[in-house]
């Protein structure tokens, strides 16, 4: 999260090029949309008991449990001829690239045309991200397999997303606030699926990552996520002072 914000700031200040990152998670963790309050959506004591770290993303959206998945981020300028324009135009352009990657992997992926989630659904509702589909997200057999969120900052944008390679994401229900986990579990079961389950067998995250790389870089003339010195230094500061700071995560919604 700190790396993506460092790149976003760099693109805004014209010290970083537009950038695509494709990455995984070293251990299970939870991220929330930047405007969500952890105490409203998470069983914080349960997370601490089980050693599940959580933070907020620089983008919006709702709670995600990251386990067997591949994440992507795209940072660019709103004037970019391929990705720029308004929020939904960028979602649509990136959605088509993600669809191409999933089709290469053998999935009949569809870019959703449903109406985007409301602000209340994105921030105030504790229902997890994969319990509903927003416009230009990806579905296979009617079930959500990719979730995305976006932030605009002056002349730049950051879009982040998660592609479910295997099961594990449903653990978010175990760490939902109050007694809502069972309710959320019902929504997840009917609205989301991972690629391994849809295929009926294991799919390697490395294959998903490689397909994403090919899809992005066959379309976009954009940097591949290698950090420059400014980005690396700023990301370390942001990790220490924001994303890795319990005080900031708990009390500093922006």
- Residue range 176-230, pLDDT digits in tens: 987 555 545 666 777 889 999 999 999 999 999 999 999 999 999 999 988 999 9
Q: Which residues are catalytic?
A: 129
So where are the chain's domains? 2-251
Exposure b/e, 4-25, CB count within 10 A at least 16 = b: bbbbbbbbbeeebbbbbbbeee
pTM: 0.90
- CA 156 – CA 76 distance, rounded (Å): 6
Answer CATH for 2-251 from 3.30.930.10, 3.10.20.90, 3.20.20.30, 3.40.50.720: 3.30.930.10
**Which stretches of the chain score pLDDT less than 50?**
117-123, 183, 254
């Amino acid at each position: 999260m700190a790396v993506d914000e460092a790149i976003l700031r760099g693109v805004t200040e014209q010290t970083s090029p537009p950038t695509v990152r494709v990455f995984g998670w070293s251990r299970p963790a939870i991220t929330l949309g930047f405007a969500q309050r952890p105490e409203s959506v998470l069983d914080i004591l349960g997370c601490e008991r089980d050693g599940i770290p959580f933070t907020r993303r620089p983008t919006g959206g709702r709670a995600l449990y990251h386990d067997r998945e591949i994440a992507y981020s795209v940072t660019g300028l709103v004037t970019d001829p391929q990705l720029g324009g308004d929020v939904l135009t960028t979602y649509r352009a990136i959605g088509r690239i993600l669809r191409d990657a999933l089709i290469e992997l053998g999935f009949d992926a569809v870019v959703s045309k449903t109406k985007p989630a409301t602000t209340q659904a994105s921030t105030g509702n504790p229902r997890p991200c994969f319990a509903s589909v927003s416009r230009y997200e990806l579905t296979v057999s009617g079930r959500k397999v990719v979730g995305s969120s976006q932030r605009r900052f002056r002349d730049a944008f950051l879009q982040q997303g998660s592609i479910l390679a295997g099961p594990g994401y449903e653990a978010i229900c175990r760490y939902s606030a109050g007694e809502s986990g069972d309710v959320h579990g019902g929504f997840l079961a009917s609205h989301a699926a991972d690629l391994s389950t849809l295929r009926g067998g294991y799919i390697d995250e490395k294959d998903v990552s490689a397909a994403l790389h090919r899809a992005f870089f066959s379309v976009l003339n954009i940097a591949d996520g290698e950090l420059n010195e400014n980005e690396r230094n700023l990301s370390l500061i942001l990790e220490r002072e924001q994303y890795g700071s319990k005080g900031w995560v708990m009390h500093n919604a922006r």
